[in-house]
Amino acid sequence: MRSTLNIAAAAALTLLAPVAALAEPRPATKGPVDALVSSPGNFKLLLDNEHVRVLQYTLPPGALDHWHTHPPRVGYVLSGAKIRVTEADGSHKDYDEKTGETYWDGFSPLHDTLNLDTKPYIALLVEVKGASASTASAKDAERQAALGLATLMSTPKPDAE
């Protein structure tokens, strides 16, 4: 009898563990929270210069990252999956990200992301430097991205030998 109760209790805890992970307390801040700092296991820095910061974002199946924000950015999906983005107010939206998709997104307020799929979600994020929460307009951020890209492309490169 006791072993049956132990097994039942263990099963209940196993079933409730994912729900507990979803109940991660929200941070007190509404300001920018760097994803690379809050979820270093999910974000890898690939490039950082005065124009852009490029991150590889990897979220294993069933994983939940930590609360963070993003400046305006371009995303490219390397490995698609179904994900759920939950905002600080508790609202959420599900996405079925497809491999090869590219997207533009303005400033993203405080959120976390859960991988609902059985495969990893992997994306490249190209964050625009100098764009912030005050850059609410996608047009403004797009102009900044275009200016940064034009500057980057016009910078003389050393001759290859």
pTM passes above 0.75 = no
Whole-number Cα distances in Å, 124 to 44, 105, 130: 10, 13, 19
pLDDT bracket for residue 77 (50, 70, 90) = very high
Task: Tell me the pLDDT tens digit for each residue of 25-75.
Answer: 556 566 789 999 999 999 999 999 999 999 999 999 999 999 999 999 999
DSSP assignments along 124-147, one per residue? EEEEETT--TT---HHHHHHHHHH
Which residue type is seen at 62? Answer: G
pLDDT of residue 49: 95
**Residue 107 near residue 132, CB atoms below 8 Å:** yes
What's residue 24's pLDDT?
A: 56
Give the helix/strand (H/E) hosting 94: strand 92-97
Instruction: Look at residue 32 in the predicted model and tell me its pLDDT.
Output: 85
Q: Quote the pLDDT of residue 137.
A: 53
Q: If DSSP codes are grouped into helix, strand and coil, which group holds residue 13?
A: helix
Q: Quick one: pLDDT at residue 141?
A: 54
**The CATH number of domain 29-154, selected from 3.40.50.300, 2.40.110.10, 1.10.10.60, 2.60.120.10:** 2.60.120.10
Residue 18 carries which DSSP code? H
Is the predicted pLDDT of residue 129 greater than 70, yes or no? yes
Q: List, for residues 134-152, the tens digit of each pLDDT value.
A: 544 555 555 555 544 444 3
Taking the domains of the chain in order of start, what are their residue ranges?
A: 29-154
